[in-house]
Structure 1
Amino acid sequence: MPAVASIGAISGRDTAVTAEGLDHSRRRHACPPPGSPERARTATGATREAILTAAERLFAEHGMYAASDRQVSEAAGQGNNAAVGYHFGTKADLVRAVARRHAERIEALRERAIVAAGDSRDVRDWVDCLVRPVTEHLAALGSPTWYARFCAQVMTDPVLHEIMLEESMASPALRQAVEGLNRNLPELPPEVRAERGQMVRLLILHTCAERERTLAEGAPTPRATWAEAADGLADAVLGLWLAPVSPPR
């Protein structure tokens, strides 16, 4: 939620600004001088952000290899076609950087969901810990977004998808959510549990990617908001985990 200015900050006693104070404020907020290390760091950070945004969008819309480093550089407004390699190295490094760009916010949302779940024995609460941090993050990004489609594209690549799995499992909150889920699931044969875990990953990933694509195209969606979409997705995931197991043939 955006920060809200306190009443004291806009009260009469705080509105008087002397000429000396104004001059000091201007100096304090002035841009770093050209050629300074601070100016260089600011420019480098802006370039990296532009490249990450361009790569996420192009990879989401066209696939991991249909978009070249040159196209990413051009989309990021960089005249140097080698900018991607200079700032990020390989495509694998770029994919990892895009994933980490979103990880902190999703981690914070998942930590909050885990606190809310507490010691719950309800499987639905732990399913929510898996689903809702993703949908809430996508909702907060506004529209259009590309991150869900980016993840879906990466997960189709036999090499790059390992990076996404590594980044995901580096999340302490995700590990806690999975542990909470596993503690409360009914007894399932190991092979069924593994199979359904894979199904759940695909269901969450591709449902979010498809909704993101539909929103970007301005087409109607089955559910009006990401929060409502999360309800339907969590219902489906819960049903998948609790579905009966067919006897061996």
Structure 2
Amino acid sequence: MHPRTTQVRERDEVVTMAGGAVRAERATATRELILLTAERLFAEHGVYAVSNRQISEAAGQGNNAAVNYHFGTKVDLVRAIARKHGDQTEELRLRMLAEVDSGSRNVRDWLACLVRPPFEHLEARGNPTWFARFSAQVMTDPVLRDIMVEEARNSPTLQRILAGLKRCLPELPAEVRAERDDMARQLMVHMGAERERALAEGGPTPRATWQDAANGLIDALVGLWTAPVTSA
């Protein structure tokens, strides 16, 4: 093969590779923009009140089918948002678990590992954020709630925290434990969402920082889990 022909072919290959890298970067940027836009709209209006077309338009995509192209169904989009934040929160849980004695029998230690990472994650993202309100919207829907539950079950750190918490909780009747578990979940989801909403709207909050808010929630959860049970 002629040397010049070889040079031209090599140049074309480099150009093709560079073009592919640029397209991949653009696709990644578009996906991130769609995720953020969907998270905001879902948080503010509810998941089923927002169409994929509205998300595409709000994200500035000329193609109204951009959401379908990059994510598929709305359920897939919700899962992608949950997974993105879950992966980031997982790193914070790992750090906290490294600071806690794995054999601790202190309820507060394990509740701190449960509450602080998602609150720290929101604080690190600045104001406004939307994930707490997004989570509250998703948790009210029986179908979409399963996505959040599935993501939680797939989190090794969360499972370790829940196991540690279970070991040091007082003995409770099964129905009381299930009731308090639901109460704790509601408190965590909706207290975070209400604080996030107040911050986004410039309203007052009971606590000055996310860290202080975590302290208050941990105190409440300690009381919830260790409260006496009233006999019927």
Question: Quick one: distance in 1 between partners of 2:121 and 2:38?
Answer: 19
CA contact (8 A) 1:131 1:204 kept: yes
1:16 is aligned to none
* Residue 216 (structure 1) aligned with residue 203 (structure 2): no
Runs of 4+ residues over 3 Å off in structure 1? 32-35
Question: Quick one: distance in 2 between partners of 1:135 and 1:161?
Answer: 20
1:235 is aligned to 219
- Which of residues 21, 24, 37 in structure 2 aligns to 1:41? 24
- Which of residues 59, 83, 94 in structure 2 aligns to 1:100? 83
- Which of residues 141, 148, 152 in structure 2 aligns to 1:164? 148
* Residue 204 (structure 1) aligned with residue 194 (structure 2): no
2:167 is aligned to 183
Question: Quick one: distance in 1 between partners of 2:145 and 2:63?
Answer: 29
| 2:142 match: secondary structure | coil
Which sits farther off after the overlay, 115-124 or 43-52?
115-124
Matched residues, number: 217
1:51-66 equivalent positions in 2, closer than 5 A: 51-66=34-49
- Unaligned regions of 5+ residues in structure 2, if any? 1-14
Structure-2 change in CA distance of 1:165 and 1:195 (3 Å): same
2:50 is aligned to 67
| 1:168 match: secondary structure | helix
1:6-25 equivalent positions in 2, closer than 5 A: none
Question: Quick one: distance in 2 between partners of 1:210 and 1:47?
Answer: 29
Question: Quick one: distance in 1 between partners of 2:205 and 2:107?
Answer: 27
| 2:208 match: secondary structure | coil
For 1:191, the aligned partner's letter is E
| 2:99 match: secondary structure | helix
Structure-2 change in CA distance of 1:35 and 1:74 (3 Å): farther
Question: Quick one: distance in 2 between partners of 1:164 and 1:78?
Answer: 28
Q: State the Cα distance separating 1:34 from its structure 2 match.
A: 9.7
- Which of residues 113, 123, 126 in structure 1 aligns to 2:96? 113
Question: Quick one: distance in 2 between partners of 1:69 and 1:214?
Answer: 27
Identity %: 62
1:28 is aligned to none
1:78 is aligned to 61
- Unaligned regions of 5+ residues in structure 1, if any? 1-31
CA contact (8 A) 1:33 1:39 kept: no
Q: State the Cα distance separating 1:230 from its structure 2 match.
A: 0.4
- TM-score, length-scaled by structure 1: 0.85
More helix by share: 2
Q: State the Cα distance separating 1:33 from its structure 2 match.
A: 7.7
Question: Quick one: distance in 1 between partners of 2:180 and 2:46?
Answer: 27
Question: Quick one: distance in 2 between partners of 1:83 and 1:34?
Answer: 24
| 2:79 match: secondary structure | helix
For 1:56, the aligned partner's letter is E
- TM-score, length-scaled by structure 2: 0.91
* Residue 148 (structure 1) aligned with residue 132 (structure 2): yes
For 2:63, the aligned partner's letter is N
For 1:74, the aligned partner's letter is E
Q: State the Cα distance separating 1:191 from its structure 2 match.
A: 1.2
